[in-house]
Structure 1
Amino acid sequence: MTAVRDLLVDLRDATKGAPRIHVPGGPAEPACLANALREAPDLADGATFIGHWLPGINRTAWTDFHPESRAEGTFLYSEYRKSFEAGRYRLLPLHYATAFEWLKTVPLDAAFIPVSRPDERGDVSLSLGTDMSPALTDRKKVRLIAVVRPDMPFPANAPRVPLSSFADVIEEDTPLVTLADPPLSDEAKAIAAHVATLLGDGFTVQSGIGSVQQIAMAAAAHHRNIRIHTGMITDAALEAVKAGAIGPEPGTILTGTAIGTPPLYEAAGQDPRFNFQPVSVTHSVPVLAAIPRLAAINGGVEVDLFGQLNSEWVKGRQVASTGGLGNFVRGAQLSAGGRSIIALPATARGGSLSRIVLQLASPTVTLSRAEAGYVVTEHGVADLATADIDQRAERLIAIAAPAFRDDLANEWAKLRASL
C-alpha cells in the first residue's frame, strides 16, 4: 500500500508543484487524503482539485488546505463560498451528463477512485463510485489511484476493474459517509400523496436529492412493480422495498451511487435488484427516453406563474447547480407515458414566503417554461404541460398556500395586462 503523503509528494515533483487531482465525492470521499493535507498543508500549494462534490453530503472544501490551491466542480455549497468569491473555485454549470463527458477530457494528472476490496480474481468493484469513476478508468495518461475501502459493498451488478490496472493502491479505513433520512413531515406526506396520483403500477421512478427523494419513494409505495432509475438513492429506497413497491426482478433499482446508513450499503451488496451504472447510463437522455412511463420527480426553490423553475438560487446567491435535473426532465418528457413532476412545499421560512411566485427573482432559470410538466405542493397538482399562459397562472395559484393566493392573483392580473 502506498502512503498518501508520499504519493502527494511524488505528484508535486512530477508536475513541478502544480498537480491537477480528481477527488471523488459521494459516500466514499477520501478522508485519508484530507487528513494528509491537514497534516502537511504545503502539499496543497499550487494544486487544483477537480470533482463533483454533493451539497449536504460532502463537507470538505479542498481549497481550504492552502491559500494557493484551487478547485473545479459542478456544484456550489456553503463550504466553497469563500473560495468561489475569491475566484479560487471554478464552478461549471453543466448538466450531469455533460459533466461526465467533461471528466473524460479535463486536464488531470491523477485521480483517486474509491473501490471495494478485491475478489478472488483480483477484481475490485466501482460500487458506490460507479456514477463518475468510469469516466476516468479508461484515461491512459492519468495516474489512477485505487482507494480500497473495506466497507464498500461488492454489488452483483456494478462495473469491475482489475486492481492491477491502478498505478497506486491506498487503503481507506475511515467509514463511508452516512446520511439518515429525517422523518417525513405532514407537509411532505401530503405532497407524496398527491404525487402518488400521477404514478401507477409498473412506473419507473427517478428522484432528485434531498427531501424529494423521500417524497418520491413514499409516493411509489402506493403502487407495485415500480422500477427505479436515478442518479442516487438513499434509505428511502429501502423503505419502498420494505413496502413491497419495488419489482422483484434483478436490476430493478438502477442508480449511480447510494448514500445512506449501513443497512442500505449492506443491501446494495446483497440484493440483486441493485444495479450500479455510470452517469452515461443513469443520466443519458436517449436511455431515459426509451424507458416507458418514466416519472422524473424533482424539487426546486421556487416556481413562477409562467411555469419557470429556480432550483439554484436563494436570496440572490447561488447555493446549488443544475445537476441532473435537466437530463431527467427531458428524458421523462420524451418517455412514452412519462411525466416530469416538480414537488415542493408551497412556502418557505416557516410559512412566511411563498414558493409559488409571480416571477423568478433568480438571475438564471433552471428549467424554462417550455419544460414545465406537473407541479405539486401539499395543496394539490398543477398540470402545466399543455396549459396556456393563463391556465398556468390559474393552476399554480390554486396550489399556492391559501394566504398568498389573492396577492398572486392580483399581481398576475396586473402583469397579464402588460403582456
Structure 2
Amino acid sequence: MDYQAKYQEKLTTAKEAVKVVKSGDWVDYSFCANHPVDLDKALAERMKEDSSLKDLKFRGGIALWQPEVTKLEDAPGRLIWNSIHTTGIERKLINSGICYYVPIRYSEVPRYYRENIKHVDVAFIQVAPMDKHGFFNFGLSSSHLAALCEISDTVVVEVNENMPVCLGGFEVGVHIDDVDMVVESSNRPMAEMPSGKTSEIDEAVAKLIVPEIPNGACLQLGIGGMPNAVGSLIAKSDLKDLGVHTEMYVDSFVDITMAGKITGKRKSIDKGRQVFTFGAGTQKLYDFVDANPSIMAAPVDYVNDIDVIASLDNFISINNTVEVDLFGQVASETGGTRHISGAGGQLDFVLGAYKSKGGKSFICCSSTVPTKDGSLKSRIKPCITEGGIITATRANTQYLVTEYGLVNLKGASTWERAEKIISVCHPDLRDELIEEADKMHIWNRTNKRV
C-alpha cells in the first residue's frame, strides 16, 4: 500500500482545510497539547472575513494557549468553547462568557463521545508525522482522541515534527485511511506547561507524604507545586522499584526516573512501563517520552479505570484540592461558584487507590490562602463555600494533608473526622472551627482541644 501517495492526495493548506466548517457546526479541537495551531489561526482569519459564519460550538480542554477563534471581538456572539477540563486560560474565557465546563469524570470521556455525543462535524488534531505504516501518532494526548476520530464526519490532522511519538498498546493514533485532510504545520516547538516553583508549604506537605510510600509503590501525581514537591523528595529518597500509572505525565516523573527510582518491576500489569493518558510539561519531558519504550500512552478509559488502578498493589494517588469541610467533603473544581478546573480523574484515583491492596489516596492543600488585604483565609471550612462543587464525597476521602499534619479520615465518624480535620488546619483558626463544629453537632464534649 502506497501510504505516501494517499498522504499527498489529502495534503492541503490550513486555509483550504477550514473551509469545511459551516455555521452551526461542532468543531472539536482535541485536547491539551494536541489543540491545533495553524488550523485555529486559519479559522479565526476566515471568521474575520466572513461574518456570516457563526453559531460554532467548539470542544477542547486543558488549553495551553488561548485559541485564536476566542480572541475575535465578536466571539461571544458567534461561538461557544466547551471544555472537558479547564486551565487558567479557560477560566478567563468562562468569565468573559465564551467558555462553559463539561462536568464529567475524565475516565468516562471516550464512552461519552461514542455513546452520547455520537457525532462531531469537524475534528482538528495536532499529531506527529505519519510513520511508514500510515499512522499519525497522537503523541502527548491519547486521552479520548481515537473515539473522537471514530465519530467525526471530517478529520483534519495538523502535522508537527516536534510532537513526541508516544508508544502504547492501543488507541494511540489515527490511520491515513481515516483522515480526510492533512495540513503540515510550521513545526513550532510544543507548548510548555512548567510545574512552577515549590513553596515551603509544598515541601512541608511532601515531607509528610513520602514516608507513607513503600518500595515498589505505583505513583499517580497531579500537576502543581505540591505533587512536584513530592516528586522532588522521592527523587532524593531511598525508595526503589517504583512504578507509574498516572492520568497526567509531568516533569517530576522524569526527575524520579533519572534518579533511578522508577523501574516498574513490581507492577502486576504493564510491567516496566510508565503509563499515562496525556502529558504536559517542559521540553525535558517531551524529549524523554519521545519513542521511549518504557513509556506507555493509553486512552483515559483504561488509565483511569478504577479496576485497573486497583489491580496495581500499593497504589499511591496524590492530588490537590481547593477546599475541604469538616465533614471531609473535597471541593477541587470551584471556589464557591467561581470555576477553577474540573472533576478530571481525581475521584477515579481516590477510589482506585483505596481499592488497591496497600493503596493510599492523599488529598493535599495548604491550610490557608492569603487574601488581598493580607489576612489568611482557611481552606478548611465548616461547610464548603456556598455554590462549591463536591469532587470527592466524604465517604471516599482517605488521607488529608496540610503543612500541619496528615490524617486518615476513612471510616471515621463525624465527630472523629471533625477532630482530625481541625488538627491539620491553621492553629489560629482552630477555636473558631471547633465552635462551628459544635453548632453542627459534630463536636463531642470528649473531643481533644486540638
Q: Say yes or no: TM over 0.5.
A: yes
User: Which residue is equivalent to 1:59?
Assistant: 66
The 8 Å contact of residues 30 and 172 in structure 1, kept in 2 or not, is answered as no
State the alpha-carbon separation in 1 of the partners of residues 153 and 315 from structure 2: 37
| SS at structure 2 position matched to 1:157 | coil
CA-CA distance at 1:263 after TM superposition: 1.8
Q: CA deviation at 1:295?
A: 1.4
Match of 1:24 among 30, 33, 45: 30
Is 1:217 the counterpart of 2:206 in the alignment? no
Counterpart contact for 1:229–1:255, Cα < 8 Å: yes
Q: Does 1:9 align with 2:34?
A: no
Structural mapping, 1:10-409, within 5 Å: 10-12=20-22, 17-42=23-48, 45-51=54-60, 53-54=61-62, 57-60=64-67, 62-65=69-72, 66=75, 67-77=77-87, 79-80=89-90, 84=94, 89-105=99-115, 106=117, 107-139=119-151, 142-157=153-168, 159-173=172-186, 174-221=188-235, 222=237, 223-247=239-263, 251-349=272-370, 352-363=376-387, 364-409=389-434
SS at match of 1:295: strand
- SS of the aligned residue for 1:256 comes to strand
Shift of residue 254, structure 1, vs aligned partner: 0.7
Quick one: distance in 2 between partners of 1:152 and 1:412?
52
- Deviation per residue, 1:85-141 (Å, 9 max, x gap): 6875443211111223222241311212222112233332222121121222333x5
User: In 1, distance between residues paired with 2:404 and 2:126?
Assistant: 43
Give secondary structure in 1 for the equivalent of 2:349. Answer: helix
State TM-score, norm by structure 2.
0.84
| 1: CA distance, partners of 2:177 / 2:402 | 51
Q: How many aligned positions are there?
A: 412
TM-score for the superposition, normalised by structure 1: 0.90
State the alpha-carbon separation in 1 of the partners of residues 277 and 380 from structure 2.
32
Distance 2:247 2:307 in 1: 15
Q: CA deviation at 1:23?
A: 0.2
Structure-2 change in CA distance of 1:267 and 1:84 (3 Å): closer
SS of equivalent residue, structure 1 residue 370: coil
Shift of 1:332: 1.3
Residue 75 of structure 1 aligns to a residue in which SS? Answer: coil
The alignment partner of 2:410 has SS state of coil
Partners of 1:19 and 1:109 within 8 A in 2: yes
Alpha-carbon displacement from aligned partner over 1:209-263 (angstroms, at most 9, x marks no partner): 2224313423543321111111111211111112222116575311112111112
Shift of 1:384: 0.3
What's the CA shift string for 1:136-173, capped at 9, x where partnerless?
Answer: 2333x521112211001223436344334311111222
In 2, distance between residues paired with 1:417 and 1:303?
A: 15
For residue 66 of structure 2, what is the amino acid of its counterpart? R
Please give the alpha-carbon distance, in whole angstroms, between the structure 2 residues aligned to 1:156 and 1:206. 19
Deviations 1:314-341 (A, max 9, x none): 2531222211111111111221211211
Measured in 1, the distance between the counterparts of 2:264 and 2:97 equals: 49
Structure 2 vs 1, CA of residues 325 and 165 (structure 1 numbering), >3 Å: closer, same or farther? Answer: same
Q: Distance in 2 between matches of 1:269 and 1:239?
A: 16
Residues 249, 280 of structure 2: 8 Å contact kept: yes
Please give the alpha-carbon distance, in whole angstroms, between the structure 1 residues aligned to 2:442 and 2:158. Answer: 61
Q: Distance in 2 between matches of 1:256 and 1:40?
A: 33
Worse-matched range after superposition: 322-331 or 25-34? 25-34
**2:436 aligns to what?**
411
Once the two structures are superposed, residues 55-93 of structure 1 have per-residue CA deviations (whole angstroms, 9 ceiling, x without a partner) of 6x3433744433211232223455456765687544321
1:194, distance to aligned residue in structure 2 (A): 0.7
Distance of aligned partners of 1:386 and 1:82 in 2 relative to their CA distance in 1, 3 Å threshold = closer
Q: Is the 8 A contact 1:22 1:49 kept in 2?
A: yes
Is the 8 Å Cα contact of residues 41 and 69 (structure 2) preserved in structure 1?
no
The amino acid across from 1:99 in the alignment is V
> Aligned Cα RMSD in Å?
2.4
Q: 1:132 touches 1:279 (CA, 8 Å); kept in 2?
A: yes
